[in-house]
Structure 1
Amino acid sequence: PGQTTGEVQFVQSMAGAGRYAVLGHDMPDGRYLFAVFSLADVDEAAAILRRQLWIVTVILFVSASLLAVFLSRRLSQPIQAVTAAAHELARGNLAVALPVTSRDEVGRLTTALNELSRELQKTDQLRKELIANVSHELRAPLAVIKGYAETVRDVTWPQEDKRRSQLTLIADEADRLTAVVRDILDYSRLQAGVQKIQSKDIAIKPVLEQVLTRYEQQARLAGLSFALSADDVRIRFDEARLIQVLHNLVSNAINHGQPGTVITVSAAHQAMRCRISIRNTGATIPPEELGRIWERFHQAGSRPLGTGLGLAIVKSILEQHQANFGVQSENGITEFWFDAPAAEV
């Protein structure tokens, strides 16, 4: 008495059957009042809570593990797919296309890989076209050279006129072979940056006259003629590269010109630049082809002419000189143009 007043004491039964809570209180008459409560229900509830806590803990652990496995697979599967696609590309299987399922870094990586696959397929197709075009361009003149060489050897050697004519054809076909090889080498050097620009002041009119004189016979055989309109202006350009650009553009105009028409070549002084254009009459280039006409190996029309590198070479040279250039084709009139910086006076 006195020591337990108002205090709760917990007592374990002697038989171990359970625990009890004992509350004592002094009464006014000197007696002492005890209140005893069984804790069996509380202990049972606590045991149930402990069991449930363990069950919840196990469930959460298993769920977290499964979620971790699921997320790791979900995150790793796209990366594994990209890795597998990269290995396929390395093995030469270029027809790789992966679905883009997200917009995160993995999605952007997948998009980049798909773009790489498309570009590689495009390059591979262009490579095949180059092989086919070059094979044709080489095989045809080689057959002519072989045929006429055998004819000269076996038949016409004593006949000077025929021999001279056939030897001339052999020389022309050899020049054609040289042009094919030169186009391939020039484009490779331009892409590799081996050829350095050596710009100097050039009078444009004499250069145009020289180029047109070079192609006058070829144009006449194609039923075409030239009309030149050039201002007396000097431009700042690499002379060898300028002649190469003009050769390709004039040759292209002859190849696609309609017989009986005139190829117009002009050079007009405009402020601090000179616009040079080559215009011919022939088939209109479809709008969808205009954007691709500068691509390597691309050839507009159904009849392949040359290696398909001429305009790609023009584009590379003009880009090296940081010159604006373009093409328009409407109502059968096609005009290629480029702007060269005018030389300082």
Structure 2
Amino acid sequence: MKSLKTKISSSNIIVIAITIFIVQIMVYIAIKEYYYSNLEDTIYGQIKISSDFYNTYLSSNTVKENIFNDNDTFWSNTDCRVQIIDLEGNVMMDSSGYISKDRILTREVKAAASGDTRGEANIYQNENNNEKIICVAYPLSFDTYVDGILRFSASTEGIDKSIKEILFIIILLGILVISIASTISLFISNSIMKPLKLVSVGAEKMAKGNFKESIPNYSKDEIGSLADTLNYMSEEILKNERLKNEFISSVSHELRTPLTSIKGWAIVLESSDLEDKEEVREGLKIIESEVERLTYLVEELLDFSKLISGKITLRKEVISIGEFTQDILRQLEPKLLSRGIEVIFEDLQIKPIEVDKNRMKQVLINILDNAIKFSPNDSKIIVKLVEDEKYLTISIKDYGYGISKDELPHVKEKFYKGRNINASNGIGLSICEEIITQHGGLLKIDSELQKGTEVIIMLPRGDMR
């Protein structure tokens, strides 16, 4: 299996090589076009000068007469091969000394015979030696009509050799660039792979359960962000693990206490002669109370598990939230009276709202029970109902011990148990927030140490307004 380093390096080298290859082809075509165009322009310039001179000073005689009179000195200064051809394609004069018997009826010759003065250039390849030549033809006049054709031709061997030399240099430069780019690519790949390898090693350790060792972060890019994310995940796992252990310890303690009490009284009742009815009654009352306490704890744990796994479906119904809250307060009245706590209830005739009645009862009892538990005797609790266009708000404010600033952000987290001696197992507020969230609402907590706590429940009005 190829490593990521190899894949990155090879991919970069392939891209660079392809790019250089394409650039080389484009440069080769441009250079070839440049050289060939210059040669064509040179030949055309020379033939134009020669034909203009001929048509100006020698056109009073026929082409044959001028050839017979040896009037060819005006084209003797060119390096090109010069041919004079009649209109039928027969060669009348050739500067090479060899006069071919074959007719020359190429494109440029035919164009010149028709009077075309554009000097069209064409490239041909010699069948004998594969040499390429460029040919340009121009008409020669006698009086007012075309009497012959002047044809210049030149070999491309010289420029082809130059082009090959340049192409060789380009190829060498391309190889050099690819070599340098490959070295740089390997260096860049190493710089990328070093932090990535650290992340990979750290992730493997986390997969094996080692969350205490953080991943070093040497970069401020996506890899660095990944390292930070994995470190944050590790911290959260350790935090949740610690909270879970504390929660298990807390629940174990809360289970052990009533079980010890039940076991103790069961032993007492078993060993007694049952004649002391008052003692039996007291023992059974304590056992019943402790069983209820255990039942409540187990139900709370089951509710929490169902809510977290999403297995609970809300059964909503339209209720009068004012009457509903008053019923819950009446249910808690014995506990309030035993502590001398006064409840001030402010109901502004709130309109009915659609909620899950049982789940909402669970939320209010939990929050009110906390307010009572963490309030001193002979204090007060204010319960207020207000509404606006979007939300129905239930505010429950006590003047008890309050929550410290460092604990306040965590009180709604699952398994979190505060430092207060009255703090319970740490899932009550988690359940409340989950229920409110499933209703589409918000649960907010404001608190100040030794000044009290306010819990605000915000429920969306929906279509019931």
TM-score category, normalised to shorter length? 0.7 to 0.9
The correspondence for 1:237, drawn from 341, 355, 359, is: 355
Deviation at 1:69, TM superposition (A): 5.6
Give 1:335's aligned amino acid: E
The residue correspondences of 1:100-115 to structure 2 (distance < 5 A) are 100-115=217-232
CA distance in 2, matches of 1:256, 1:320: 27
How many corresponding residue pairs? 290
State the alpha-carbon separation in 1 of the partners of residues 452 and 229 from structure 2: 39
1:125-168 deviation per Cα after TM superposition (whole angstroms, max 9, x unaligned)? 11111111111111111111111111122126332222122111
Secondary structure class of the residue paired with 1:291: helix
Cα distance in 2, alignment partners of residues 275 and 144 from structure 1? 41
Give the secondary-structure state (helix, strand or coil) at the position aligned to 1:314. Answer: helix
1:315 to 2:429 alignment: no
Following superposition, the deviation at residue 62 of structure 1 comes to: 9.6
* CA distance in structure 1 between the partners assigned to 2:276 and 2:395 by the alignment: 46
TM-score of the two chains, using structure 1 as the length reference: 0.76
Q: Distance in 2 between matches of 1:339 and 1:60?
A: 67
The answer to whether residue 432 in structure 2 is matched with residue 334 in structure 1 is no
The aligned residue for residue 141 of structure 1 is 258
SS of 1:300 mapped into structure 2: coil
- How much has 1:231 moved relative to structure 2? 3.6
- 1:87-166 equivalences under 5 Å are 87-155=204-272, 157-166=274-283
SS in 1 for 2:217: coil
How far 1:106 sits from its partner (Å)?
Answer: 1.4
Q: Quick check: 1:219 aligned with 2:372?
A: no
TM-score (norm 2): 0.57
Which one has the largest radius of gyration?
Answer: 2
Which structure has the higher relative contact order (CA within 8 Å, separation 6+)?
A: 1
What one-letter code is carried by the residue in structure 1 that aligns with 2:396?
I
SS in 2 for 1:259: coil
Amino acid at match of 2:332: Y
Identity within the alignment, %: 30
The answer to whether the 8 A contact 1:225-1:262 is kept is: yes
How far apart in 1 are the matches of 2:372 and 2:405?
A: 21
Which range moved further: 59-68 or 167-176?
Answer: 59-68
- Do the aligned partners of 2:247 and 2:417 also contact (CA within 8 Å) in 1? no
Encode CA deviations 1:55-79: one digit per residue, 9 max, x unaligned.
xxxx999988876665444332322
Instruction: Specify whether residues 64 and 184 from structure 1 end up closer, same or farther in structure 2 by C-alpha distance, changes over 3 A only.
Output: same
Map residues 70-81 of structure 1 onto 2, 5 A cutoff: 70-81=187-198
Distance (Å, rounded) in 2 between the aligned partners of 1:147 and 1:312: 33
1:236, 1:340 within 8 Å by CA — same for their partners in 2? no
Q: Give me the whole-angstrom Cα distance separating, in 2, the residues matched to 1:69 and 1:268.
A: 67
Please give the alpha-carbon distance, in whole angstroms, between the structure 1 residues aligned to 2:295 and 2:380.
28
Partner of 2:464: 344
CA contact (8 A) 1:253 1:279 kept: yes
Asked if the contact 2:440–2:460 (Cα under 8 Å) also holds between the matched residues in 1, the reply is no
Q: Which runs of 5+ in 1 are unaligned?
A: 1-58
Moved more, 265-274 or 191-200: 265-274
Distance 2:269 2:227 in 1: 62
After superposition, the C-alpha distances for 1:269-313 in whole angstroms (9 at most, x for unaligned) are 444543212111111322333222211122333325221111111
Q: In 2 relative to 1, CA 166–220 (structure 1 residues): closer, same or farther, beyond 3 Å? A: farther
